[in-house]
Structure 1
Amino acid sequence: MSVEVTRMALKRHELLEELQAVIARQLEEMGTPPDAASVIGSSAVDYLSTYWAGQVVTFPKDAQYKLTLKELEIYDQFDGRNKDDLARRYGMTPRGMGKLLKRIREKIKAQNADAEAAGQLELIS
């Protein structure tokens, strides 16, 4: 019995492979050692692909601009001088916290630019 590899099967594999790489890369940026980040990424993808097996999932196009509640919580606590304290509180390295804060600022700027382009009022300062 031969297994036919369909175009959709290849796309699913590509999605899961990319998801693992993204998770590992984000963990590394937050100070996780590369080997551990890779294992955690693989474990997360295995879990998600089993949990969501058979479901059709759609990612919104603007997902990259959405801020999570945790990101907003961290950003609200940041006063410009407490990066090390925040890193300790959230179990990150100071370098990882700095990168996270930078990503949050970039997301906020992108959201503001999109809102201004659409003629909306600025919601996040």
Structure 2
Amino acid sequence: MNSHAFRSKGPELLVELAHHVADTIVDVTGLDLKVAEQVGSSVATRMMLVWGGQNVYFPMGISWNTSQRDLQIFSEFNGRNHSELAKKYSVSLQWIYKIVKAVRKEEQARMQGDVLNHDLSR
């Protein structure tokens, strides 16, 4: 049996993380590749220091995508199109009501926080 079969994938993971971070920085910001590679390496080192030796689970992003979808549904909501949105997004009518209520509540909380922060800064 190959003695490398059970070798840790840790260093490979950090190298790959550094490359992905650098590529993303270049794609999103257009930053110079050398600088992006330095940032990628720094992020990989930071993750090693913070999470080194731990098993870290990366979710599939379903809740992130759902959250984005819910915001899209709310932005399309006009007060009378519950059924249309339920059909368009393949969710139940009750789910549309729930999304609208939840996003509206978050918006109100954010706005109240903005008003409170504004009053406190006076």
Structure-1-length-normalised TM-score: 0.47
Structure-2-length-normalised TM-score: 0.48
Of structures 1 and 2, the one scoring higher in RCO (CA 8 A, sep 6+) is 1
Larger radius of gyration: 2
